[in-house]
Amino acid sequence: MTFVRVCGADELEEDTPKRVELDGTPISVVRTEGELFAIHDICSHANVSLAEGEVDDCHIECWLHGSRFDLRSGKPDSLPATRPVPVYPVKIEGDDVLVSLSQES
């Protein structure tokens, strides 16, 4: 599995998604509850950025229609979204946040 640097750890604020692109793939990187998550940045219901939404209880909410996606699995737990979004492996090495486009789920 190949990991690529997407940002510095100091660029991430708690519960504030950061939108990055990795090989043309939009990703939201989120630090919440002491963990890091990387989730596809485009809502599966509407073609909008999830990074513009709010993070709460290990979920990210789409700002447009209110669908919430689990940051661990990418699965929606509220309508109108019914399809999950990909999640990606993420890790910290030193001060670098690294993401792999290999999907965890």
d(CA 35, CA 14): 10
d(CA 21, CA 40): 10
One digit per residue, the tens of pLDDT, for the chain of length 105 reads: 899 999 999 999 999 999 999 999 999 999 999 899 999 999 999 999 999 999 999 999 999 999 999 999 999 999 999 999 999 999 999 999 999 998 654
- pTM metric for this prediction: 0.93
Extract the tokens encoding 99: 């993401």
Please confirm whether the linkage preceding 80 is cis (ω < 30° from 0).
Answer: yes
| Residue 104 confidence (pLDDT) | 59
Which strand (E) or helix (H) includes residue 57? none
Q: Count the Cβ atoms, other than its own, within 10 Å of residue 79.
A: 11
d(CA 67, CA 40): 14
